[in-house]
Structure 1
Amino acid sequence: MSNDEVDLAALLCSKICHDLLSPVGAINNGLELLEDETDPVMQDRCMNLLADSARTSAEKLKYFRLAFGAAGGFGDQVDPAEARQLVQSLIEESGKITLGWALQGEALPKKVIKILLNLVLIAKESLVRGGNLDVGAEQGDLGIEVVIRAEGTRIALDDGIRSALDGTIEPSELSARTVAAWMTRELALKNGGDLRISPESTTELLLGAIVTA
């Protein structure tokens, strides 16, 4: 493994740790509160906090395992229902986003699902005030086409992430915030496809990828 690959792996690990810090920290806070709390009502609230935080942590780990990792528990083909369950858990965390799902029933290559999950994560994070998130994938003339559409009262996409998605950033300029977007583009290109992003808009974001079957 080259030094560049080691650096990229380290950045990806940093992103995962950052995203897991909040729910794992909440578990720690809940345990500390529970140690000193004697009121039964407050104890119940602490237990609910622990349960919610533990569930969120587990769901995020499952999502990251397939989106970023080798996901050895899956075969070369992944049932879209598995992906939908992961996306639904991600969307429910915010409580402000409505999911639209339009995927074919048959299994899709793991590489397509990985791209889809990464684009969903980017689109979800851009919906800073909530809104609608539509996910679709189908077999086209050029390969399997993935389309993610985010619509809301305010779309906020980091300039660095946009640069990573459209290929105008150098690997040496990547950060923990942008590395997943760059990896997603590379995954599409290395599988004979491409990745597209819509022009800047304050209310709508379209992300698309094509992957050869």
Structure 2
Amino acid sequence: MTKDLTRDIAAMIGSRICHDLISPVGAISNGVELLTMSTGDTSPELSLIAESVENANARVKFFRIAFGMASPGQMTGRKEMLSIFNAMATARLTYEWLPETDMLREEVKLACLMMLCIETALPRGGIIRISNDDGQWKICANSDRLDPSPDLWARLGAVTTTEGLKPSEVQFILAPLQADSLNRRISTHTDDSMLRLIA
């Protein structure tokens, strides 16, 4: 009961924060677009602002899925995920969302949390591929340098406490919690050129 309540409260806080941020970030994006249209300004500085706002908007939407509430039966569209990951991509880190259909929000939430775990092991960036085969998520990362933390990776197999974790590592608690809520378990696979999380 306590575990479920803690997870639900954390998700509600995540939803609230993202909900409150979406509007102002969207307003900034609209403002930049209007400024470009009215003045014809296509300077590198304005382009940089526009790209940064687009990335921030995508990140907030992503965090809303990863950390927010997932109501039973709620769906998340394939097009939405493709749009989010396209906007989140940088020269250093790119994402490939491979599922061909819309997915249950609670399933996508698990995939996003697992992806956040993978990101921590890519200090030089790389490519992250997210696929779902027969109801099983596979999050794979390729990079010229992989640096998974053994202590963090060990947490993914079971629900643990917050002891020893930084706020930036909260996904290593939430991913196993979400997997547990779906009656699943996260397994880790590593080699010299690839990291893989499966659930």
The TM-score, its normalising length taken from structure 2, stands at 0.70
1:61–1:75 distance in 2 versus 1, CA, 3 Å: farther
Distance (Å, rounded) in 2 between the aligned partners of 1:157 and 1:65: 25
Deviation at 1:67, TM superposition (A): 1.0
- Percent identity between the aligned chains? 22
User: One-letter code of the match for 2:198?
Assistant: G
Deviation at 1:164, TM superposition (A): 2.6
* Residue 181 (structure 2) pairs with residue 208 (structure 1): no
The TM-score, its normalising length taken from structure 1, stands at 0.66
How large is the RMSD of aligned CA atoms in angstroms? Answer: 3.5
Deviation at 1:114, TM superposition (A): 0.5
Deviation at 1:187, TM superposition (A): 0.8
User: One-letter code of the match for 1:56?
Assistant: N
1:178–1:164 distance in 2 versus 1, CA, 3 Å: farther
User: One-letter code of the match for 1:59?
Assistant: A
Query: Could you tell me which residue of structure 2 aligns to residue 111 of structure 1?
Result: 106
Deviation at 1:71, TM superposition (A): 6.2
Query: Could you tell me which residue of structure 2 aligns to residue 69 of structure 1?
Result: 68
Deviation at 1:119, TM superposition (A): 1.7
Q: Which runs of 5 or more structure 2 residues have no equivalent in the other structure? A: 29-41
Distance (Å, rounded) in 1 between the aligned partners of 2:130 and 2:45: 36
Deviation at 1:148, TM superposition (A): 0.8
1:87-102 alignment runs, 5 A limit? 87-90=85-88, 92-93=89-90, 95-102=91-98
Query: Could you tell me which residue of structure 2 aligns to residue 55 of structure 1?
Result: 54
Query: Could you tell me which residue of structure 2 aligns to residue 31 of structure 1?
Result: none
Counterpart of 2:163 (choices 172, 178, 193) is 172
User: One-letter code of the match for 2:131?
Assistant: G
Counterpart of 1:138 (choices 133, 139, 164) is 133
Distance (Å, rounded) in 2 between the aligned partners of 1:104 and 1:45: 36
1:69–1:202 distance in 2 versus 1, CA, 3 Å: same
Q: Is the 8 A contact 1:160 1:178 kept in 2?
A: no
Q: Is the 8 A contact 1:80 1:103 kept in 2?
A: yes
Distance (Å, rounded) in 2 between the aligned partners of 1:125 and 1:172: 18
* Residue 176 (structure 2) pairs with residue 163 (structure 1): no
Deviates more, 1:155-164 or 1:107-116: 155-164
Q: Which runs of 5 or more structure 1 residues have no equivalent in the other structure? A: 28-42
Deviation at 1:75, TM superposition (A): 6.2
SS across alignment from 2:166: coil
Q: Is the 8 A contact 1:188 1:195 kept in 2?
A: yes
User: One-letter code of the match for 1:62?
Assistant: K
Query: Could you tell me which residue of structure 1 aligns to residue 143 of structure 2?
Result: 152
Q: Is the 8 A contact 1:128 1:154 kept in 2?
A: yes
Distance (Å, rounded) in 2 between the aligned partners of 1:59 and 1:168: 29
